[in-house]
Amino acid sequence: MLADRAGGILLHLTSLPGAFGAGDFGTDAYKFVDWLVSANQTYWQVLPLGEIGPGNSPYMSSSAFAGNILLIDLAELANLGWLLHEDLIPHPEFRADRVDFALLHSFRMERLRRAAESFFMSRPDKMHRSYEEFCLAEGEWLEDYALFMTIAERENWREWNHWPKDIALRNSQVLHRLKQDCADKIGFWKFCQWCFARQWSRLKHYANERGVRIIGDVPIFVAYQSADVWSHQKLFELDENGRPFVVAGVPPDYFSETGQLWGNPLYRWDVHKETGYAWWIARLRYALRQADMVRVDHFRGFAAYWEIPADAPNAIVGKWEPGPGEKLFAAFEQAFPRLPIIAEDLGLITPDVLELRDQFKLPGMRVLQFAFGNGEANPFLPHHYVPNTVAYTGTHDNDTSIGWWNSLSDHEKIFARQYLSMDSDSEAINWVMMHALSKSVANIVIFPMQDVLGLSSEHRMNFPGRPTRNWEWRFSWDMIKLEHTLALAEMTTEYGRSGESALK
C-alpha cells in the first residue's frame, strides 16, 4: 500500500542520450538521476530490463531473469582494460533521436565479445572472483539461460522446438556434453549478465542514495523463445513436441478492433500451485532486487486471462479462463514482508480483478488520457481517485499528451476543457494535465518524459498492435530547458510531492 505523496518520470533507459546508438548504464544515466533530483522527483519508472525480443520489444524477453546486455556501458569496459580506445568510436550512422536496433545490436555485440575475450585472457584478480561469485549466486537461472543462448545462436535463432529433439526436450546427457563442448560460448553470456548486474546495481545505488526510487516492470507472460519455457516446459501449456496449443492476448479493446495476439505461451497454473509457485516467487524476488517497486503488467490476467488457439489469425476468437487469483498473491505475501507491486489494472476490468487488487492492498493505475470519453462517471477522472493509486498522463502504450489532444473529438475536448478549467487553447495541455494529476489524491503521479518536454506524436514510444517502429524514441539534453525543470520542481513542491515515498 502506498504511503506519502510523490512524483516521478517514465523513461526507459534506451531513450537516454549516449554515443553508442541508444541509452545505457553510462554517464547519461547518472546525469538523468541528477536531473530527477533537481526536478524534485522521487521515482524513475523504466520498462522491463530484460533482453529485447521480436519487434525489439522489452516485453518479449529471452529470459524472465536475464538483463538486456545492450544496456551495458561500453566505456566502463574500456576503463577496465577490456576494450580499446578505437572500440569506442561511434558508428557514423547512429542517430541521437532514434534507436536503430539492427545497427545497435551488431555494434554492441561485437564489442561485448571483444571485452569478454579480453576478460577471460587476463590474469585472475578480484574482478574474476566477482564474476565467479555472481555465477555461483545466480546459477539457478544463469546456467539454463547461458546454455539456451549458446544453442540458440548455434541454431541460427530458430525456435527451440526446431532444435534437435534431444536438445529441445532436454536430454541430460546431451546437455552435459554441450556444456563441456561450448564452455567458452556459455562463458560469454554469463560474462555479459555479470556486467549488466554490476552496472545496474551501481546505478540503482546511486539513485537510491539521492532519494530516487526505481519502478521496474514485470510482464505477466514470457516469450516462447526463452530460456524459461525451454527449461521449465512442464510449467507451460505445451504439447508433446513442445509447441503451445493456446497462447496469450487480449480481446478487442481501445487499442485494437481485432484484439492483440501476443502469442506468449500460457501457464499451467495447476502445476505452479503444486510447486508452491516457486518459479514466480523466484522471479519476483529477482525483480525486486533490480527495482524498489515493480509494475506488474496485465494484472487482470491473474484473475482471468484471454486464451486464444495457437493457430488463430487474431485475438477475436478466444475465451476467458480463470487465473491463479488470491492463491498466488497469498504465496507472495508469505515470501515477502511487503508487496511493493503496482497492479496494471487497465483494459477490460471486471469486479474480480478489483477485488484481487484490493484484497492485497495493491495500488492500481489511472491514465488521464482515458478520462474524457463518457462523462462524469468515468473512473479515470481524478475526482474518482483514491490515495492508493499511481496516476499517469499516459503510459508507454499511449500517444504523447499533445498528440492525444490533437486527435481528440470536439465533444471530448469540450468536456476536457470544462473539467480541467482551461481558460483557452493557448494553455499547454500537457502541463494542464500534469497539474490536474499532481493536485489529485493519488499518492504517486508519473509523467512520461515526452509530456514534460511537450512533444508531439512522432515521439511516441509504442503503438500497441503495430509490429515495427516501436521502442525507438530518444531525447537529447538540449530538449530539456531550464523552464521545464523549474516548472516540474515547483509543481511537485506545490502539491506536496517532494518527499520520499514509501510502502506500508
Give the DSSP H or E segment for 9: strand 6-10
Strands 364-367 vs 389-392: parallel, antiparallel or unpaired = parallel
Q: Are 251 and 316 in contact (CB under 8 A)?
A: yes
Q: Is residue 4 part of a domain?
A: yes
Q: 27-38 and 482-494 are packed helices; what angle lies between their axes, rounded to 10 degrees?
A: 50
Domain that holds residue 3: 1-12+32-45+366-504
Instruction: Report the Cα–Cα distance between both ends of the chain, in Å, rounded.
Output: 5
Predicted pLDDT of residue 499? 64
Grid look-up 488470491 returns 326
Distance, CA of 121 to CA of 82 (rounded, Å): 10
> How far is 456 from 433, CA to CA, in rounded Å?
15
Q: Are the C-beta atoms of residues 47 and 395 closer than 8 Å to each other?
A: no
What pLDDT is recorded for position 467? 86
Is 227 within the bounds of a domain?
A: no
Per-residue pLDDT of the chain (504 residues), as tens digits, is 888 999 999 999 999 999 999 999 999 999 999 999 999 999 999 999 999 999 999 999 999 999 999 999 999 999 999 999 999 999 999 999 999 999 999 999 999 999 999 999 999 999 999 999 999 999 999 999 999 999 999 999 999 999 999 999 999 999 999 999 999 999 999 999 999 999 999 999 999 999 999 999 999 999 999 999 999 999 999 999 999 999 999 998 776 889 989 999 999 999 999 999 999 999 999 999 999 999 999 999 999 999 999 999 999 999 999 999 999 999 999 999 889 999 999 988 999 999 999 999 999 999 999 999 888 999 999 999 999 999 999 999 999 999 999 999 999 999 999 999 998 777 899 999 999 999 999 999 999 999 999 999 999 999 987 889 999 999 999 999 999 999 999 999 999 998 654 333
pLDDT at 356: 98
Query: What pLDDT does residue 256 have?
Result: 81
Establish how many alpha carbons lie within 13 A of residue 21's alpha carbon, considering only the half-sphere containing its beta carbon: 22
Phi and psi torsions of 354, nearest 5°: -65, -40
The domain tally of the chain equals 1
The DSSP symbol for 292 reads S
**In this structure, are residues 371 and 436 in contact, taking their beta carbons and an 8 Å threshold?**
no
Q: How far apart are CA 266 and CA 414, in angstroms?
A: 43
Q: Which three cell numbers stand for residue 37?
A: 533530483
**E strands of 297-404, at which residues?**
304-309, 319-322, 341-343, 364-367, 389-392
Residue 494: all three cell numbers together: 506545490
Look at residue 160 in the predicted model and tell me its pLDDT: 98
d(CA 148, CA 227): 6
Closest CA to 476 of 447, 453, 460: 453
Q: In what order do the strands lie in the sheet with 213-218?
A: 341-343, 293-296, 213-218, 43-45, 6-10, 444-448, 389-392, 364-367
Q: Which residue has the cell 508469505?
A: 334
Query: How many Å apart are CA 28 and CA 89, to the nearest integer?
Result: 17
CA atoms within 13 A on the CB side of 263: 15
What pLDDT is attached to residue 501?
A: 40
Please report whether residue 382 resides in a domain: yes
What pLDDT digit, counting tens, does each position of 463-490 carry? 987 889 999 999 999 999 999 999 999 9
d(CA 89, CA 100): 17
In a domain, 452, yes or no: yes
Residue 156 belongs to a domain: no
- pLDDT per residue over 63-103, tens digit each? 999 999 999 999 999 999 999 999 999 999 999 999 999 99
Catalytic residues: 297, 344, 397
The three state secondary structure string of 280-343 is HHHHHHHHHHHCCEEEECCHHHHCEEEEEECCCCCCCCCEEEECCCHHHHHHHHHHCCCCCEEE
- Domain membership flag for residue 311: no
Do 391 and 437 contact (CB within 8 A), yes or no? yes
- Judge residue 120's burial from the number of C-beta atoms within 10 Å of its C-beta, 0-12 exposed, 13-18 middle, 19 or more buried: middle
Evaluate whether residue 60 is within a structural domain.
no
- Assess if residue 360 is contained within a domain: no
Q: How far is it, in rounded angstroms, from Cα 195 to Cα 146?
A: 14
